[in-house]
Amino acid sequence: TKCIGILTSGGDCPGLNAAIRGVAKSAMHHGIKVLGVMDGFRGLVENRFVHLEDAQVSGILTLGGTLLGTSRDKPHKMPMGDQVLDMTEVAVANAKAQQIDCLVCLGGNGTQKNALRMQKAGLNVLTLPKTIDNDVAETDVSFGFDTAMNIATDAIDRLHTTATSHHRVIVCELMGHKAGWLALGAGVAGGADVVLIPEIPYDLNIVAEHLIERRKHNKRFSIIAVAEGAVSKAEATQSEEQREKKKQAKKKVAERKHKPGEPHLVQESLDSRIARELQQLTGLEARTTSLGHVQRGGSPSARDRLLCTLLGTTAGRLLAEGHYNKMVAVRGTQAVPVPLEKVAGVIKTVPRDHGWLEAAMLVETCLGDR
């Protein structure tokens, strides 16, 4: 019999269990043996496999997180004791020792790259696009994004209560890595007055003008949805070298050992900095909220459950047909295989002509730019 291994890797994400269920049930339907690999690529290197039976993948559709566990460990740069080693060959050998014909990897951009590495090292792979960031290339959408966007939209709705009652500016920081999908989607859906995303470097003077203008028109509250990867115009014009220098300096502050009696050096967060600068520029009272991992928590939305079931069951069929080394992508209402080489290493950002941007501008949402 054919045998597959399933692993989940990178950040946890709503829909992982639904996708595991879809792949496993469909594979079992086609007579394929299913192994689960614990904790992503680390489990593969450490030989941690579990045999998944039908009962184990039943009743998990609605559960958040991943029953297999996950990690951000990469096979080619694996911390092992106090060393960081290239464990790619060990990972491939372990999979082959279990007689795995294909490794199914559920993950975002990092996972797509790691899966391609495994493919190049001689292991068949098949991947699914998972991430709340929606930044995986070659697919209309990745699973987890819809749920996260719903959570973030609900949070923006709730922030309106305090913003309107206290006549405040509230800066809400959203995830999304280097892409603005989540902040833009939730920002537009939640009626944010300002949306700042990495694709459009912002100028806080323009944002401040917008806030003052709103006040003049008797709109006494403003919500700002800011993507964690958003950069100012000044930052955007910095060279790669300058940015790297800044990143290293930040890292140094974060890793610095605190000596007794010394003041604590804490890096100012993006939302705090934006709120502070806008308060200075406008004189308006500002507050911050950073949603963090709440955005990835809990049960997947109906749309994500459907998506995971479509992607997972399509993967099962492709596995039965011996279709390997692809990512199962969404195109309209269909799930289709695309070569992994076209996906790995590409980040899908929001294009400047995207309809959501135009819609945002037409409802007078400030994008921090002119």
Q: What positions carry a catalytic annotation?
A: 133
Smallest separation (angstroms) from ligand F6P to the CB of 135: 8
Residue nearest to ligand F6P (CB): 175
Query: What is the per-residue binding string for ligand F6P in 232-251, x denoting contact by CB under 6 A?
Result: --------------------
Tell me whether residue 98 is exposed, middle or buried, using C-beta atoms within 10 angstroms of its C-beta: 0 to 12, 13 to 18, 19 or more: middle
Match 């019999």 to its residue by tokens. 1
Residues 127-166 touching ligand F6P, rule: CB under 6 A, are 131-133
Smallest separation (angstroms) from ligand F6P to the CB of 179: 9
Question: What dihedral angle (degrees, nearest 10) is formed by the CA atoms of 237, 240, 241, 243?
Answer: 70
Q: Two tokens at 357?
A: 């941007």
Q: Is 293 annotated as a binding residue?
A: yes
Q: Is 29 annotated as a binding residue?
A: no
Question: What dihedral angle (degrees, nearest 10) is formed by the CA atoms of 211, 159, 363, 138?
Answer: 120
Q: CA of 202: how far to CAs of 2, 8, 198, 225, 230, in Å?
A: 53, 35, 9, 12, 8
Q: Two tokens at 260?
A: 């007794």
Applying CB under 6 A, among 4, 91, 175, 194 the residue interacting with ligand F6P is 175
Q: Two tokens at 255?
A: 């890793």
Judging by DSSP bridges, how do beta strands 286-290 and 334-339 pair with one another? unpaired
- Choose between 189 and 347: whose C-beta lies nearer to ligand F6P: 347
Q: Is 11 annotated as a binding residue?
A: yes
Applying CB under 6 A, among 177, 214, 326, 348 the residue interacting with ligand F6P is 177
CA atoms of 76 and 66, how far apart (whole Å)? 23
Q: CA of 87: how far to CAs of 92, 196, 241, 340, 344, in Å?
A: 9, 40, 30, 21, 20
Residues 74-113 touching ligand F6P, rule: CB under 6 A, are 108
Residue range at the interface with ligand F6P (CB under 6 A); choices 31-39, 161-169, 175-183, 342-350: 175-183
State whether residue 203 is helix, strand or coil.
Answer: coil
- Choose between 119 and 142: whose C-beta lies nearer to ligand F6P: 142
Match 């700042």 to its residue by tokens. 196
Smallest separation (angstroms) from ligand F6P to the CB of 173: 11
- Choose between 11 and 300: whose C-beta lies nearer to ligand F6P: 11
- Choose between 138 and 228: whose C-beta lies nearer to ligand F6P: 228
Residues 283-312 touching ligand F6P, rule: CB under 6 A, are 296
Written as one string, the DSSP assignment of 213-272 is HHHHTT---EEEEEETT--BHHHHTS-HHHHHHHHHHHHHHHHPPPPTTSPP--PPPHHH
Query: What is the per-residue binding string for ligand F6P in 188-227, x denoting contact by CB under 6 A?
Result: ----------------------------------------
Q: Is 21 annotated as a binding residue?
A: no
Task: Mark the binding-site residues for ATP, compressed into ranges.
Answer: 11, 72-73, 108-111
What residues make contact with ligand F6P under the rule CB under 6 A? 11, 108, 131-133, 175-177, 228, 296
Task: Mark the binding-site residues for substrate, compressed into ranges.
Answer: 131-133, 168, 175-177, 228, 287, 293-296
Task: Mark the binding-site residues, compressed into ranges.
Answer: 11, 72-73, 108-111, 131-133, 168, 175-177, 228, 287, 293-296
